[in-house]
Chains A and B, each alone.
Chain A
């Protein structure tokens, strides 16, 4: 290892922190060790998403201790972004990525290091072999709701790339520029990355520790709403549903027309024609209203795409190293 030449590329690591104080030391031991071995210059950007535990203290302590006993931070820059209030993984990581200056940016969504350190290098090598985004995905068990979501999402998504349970990923500057110039509000990074039209890949690994991996970073309601939003933003599933509904109503309308035409020529007259007329009208309107609901949902999405300029609110940026 020592004989290997260090990469001269500049690498940034964006790390999400939310009440994960216990994992800070093992995570940075692994990641920093890897970075020091492989990269000449790098920076660490930690995003503190309104942690209520001792994450920030532990982080500072970790790097300050390091400064004394021989430079654990290896002279690299460590910045800490404080989110104004709890805003969830997606908004926080968007903030971190926007601040990163590296040629390549690692995004660590989770700081439980249940993968071998070598994997951090592997995704980098994979990226250099001609990809713009490479993810590391845990093969282990995932919650059935998540599995259903990914399955359904990948089935209906417009993109040729699939998404899954990802622990961390690496992006090239080109991918970041592409995502930024798409000018999109980024509600769900995985999906936007996969839709940016550049080459992507995923490396799978078996979880080593397997303890407490899938702790929810966002609360349940928020996750559900994010899942629904993602379907609207990145798949055409609602479009298809509305198509089916309007199709069904078309058929139904045709049926009623046939019935009315039939009843005109038949011997048995219905009671003053009230039943069929009212039935047709009410069901027809029902169809119109359900379509309107979907259109309204689309409109709300477009509104948020256009008007949501301030995507996240940060409280401040602080330098941790020394």
Chain B
């Protein structure tokens, strides 16, 4: 079978690329390991539509996020939850950024930042500044439904779930992707949009040396909780250091709770993810879905909740509902300034092999110039 483009990975980046190219009339094949789209990092993260507040030490990341924020909110308004107070605060201790620096940063990035009384949200002495900001959350499931509907109505897009890729190789002016069972698909353009599996896909390319991304892997837990009355219309993020965030999770009515120290459970520093919990189909060469795994780690709820309660006023209540797990690749070069650049790498042209690695939903537009 021949296509114009083969897209590997049905997360937001893959689906966005598929729809974008389908609209141009190209014939597209999307290959996905799981049985449905949006099963991993697109769904399992803080669901933040980043305005840039998160990166007070990387102005470039912040400015870019802010630029894309507006476009994303306009285009995907149907899945955006915006009617809540998003509070950012700087911890009095252990923070890499203090109140003044955060204010100065927001001014430089041109993003909203109104000072609020710290005592309205936090216990005495815990934070030195609290700010009302403008930041929203998206609902991954609504976004998924939109893409499934849009793509299934187009005859030039084919979705293949439960795809087990065996190898990728060059054949003439095209790449061929071979699945377990022997099915082969060819296209002059392959997009590797598999996030945590990026290096694993690169490794399947035969005949040419594909440099793996310099990343480490963290198995992360996002906790869903039911907010109490006061916390309901509020999101709280304490930064920039070993702190936490509790904010609405899309339109689900739940809040997501995460913390810098407790959200990552296990880390692998190797180029290909290798963890002691891997067995069966899940191995160095192929990550299975951590959220559906029977061997997923025990929840760190006790730790995260306690950390949040150490900071937040006692009348901001929340209770445990569920845990979601997903694998998160982190570019090692971004550790110092805590930036989250979108990496798009063209490994070959004619035929094209392009890999994308991005930790943020609203920088998906970066892809366009490569498609």
Offer 28 A-B interface pairs, CB within 8 angstroms, sorted by A: A10-B302, A10-B306, A41-B302, A41-B303, A67-B276, A77-B261, A77-B262, A77-B300, A77-B303, A79-B242, A95-B94, A98-B93, A98-B94, A99-B94, A101-B306, A102-B306, A177-B123, A177-B125, A180-B125, A181-B124, A181-B125, A183-B125, A314-B94, A317-B94, A317-B242, A317-B261, A319-B264, A319-B267
- Chain B residues with Cβ below 8 Å from A177 are 123-125
Chain B residues 297 to 348 lying within 8 A of chain A, measured CB to CB, are 298, 300, 302-303, 306-307, 310
**In the assembled complex, A26 has its CB within 8 A of some CB on chain B:** no
Q: Interface size class for chain B?
A: 20 to 34
Give the residues in chain B near A67, CB-CB below 8 Å: 276
A75 at the interface (CB under 8 A from B): yes
CA distance A79 to B124 in the complex (A): 25
The answer to whether the Cβ of B167 comes within 8 Å of any Cβ in the partner chain is no
Which of under 10, 10 to 19, 20 to 34, or 35 or more describes the interface residues of A?
20 to 34
Chain B 239-255 per-residue mask, 1 if CB under 8 angstroms from chain A, else 0? 00110000000000000
CA distance A19 to B124 in the complex (A): 36
Q: A75-B298, A77-B262, A98-B94 are in contact. Are A43 and B125 (CB under 8 A)?
A: no
- Check if B265 is an interface residue, CB within 8 A of chain A: yes
Within 8 A of B (CB), among A65-105: 67, 75, 77, 79, 95, 98-99, 101-103
Which of chain B's residues have a CB closer than 8 A to the CB of A41? 302-303
The complex places the Cα of A98 from the Cα of B242 at a distance, in Å, of 11
B residues less than 8 Å from A102 (CB atoms): 306
**A10, A43, A322: the one within 8 Å of B265 (CB):** A322
- Apart from A43-B303, A75-B298, A322-B267, 18 more pairs, CB < 8 Å: A77-B261, A77-B262, A77-B303, A79-B242, A79-B261, A95-B94, A98-B94, A101-B307, A102-B306, A177-B123, A177-B124, A177-B125, A180-B124, A317-B241, A317-B261, A319-B261, A319-B267, A322-B265
B266 located at the interface, meaning its Cβ lies under 8 Å from any Cβ of chain A in the complex = yes
CB contact list, A143-185 vs B, under 8 A: 177, 180-181, 183
Task: Give chain A residues whose Cβ lies under 8 Å from the Cβ of B265.
Answer: 322
Least CB separation from A312: chain B residue: B93
The CA-CA distance from A98 to B91 in the complex, in Å, is 11
CA distance A43 to B305 in the complex (A): 14
How far apart sit A317 and B93, CA to CA, in the bound complex (Å)? 13
Residues 282-314 of A at the B interface (beta carbon under 8 Å): 314
The distance from the CB of B175 to the nearest CB of chain A, in whole angstroms, is 38
Of residues A101, A102, A322, which shows the largest number of chain B Cβ atoms within 10 Å of its Cβ?
A101
Measured CA separation A88–B311 after assembly (Å): 27
Residue of B nearest to A43 (CB): B303
- Cα distance A103–B306 in the bound complex, in angstroms: 9
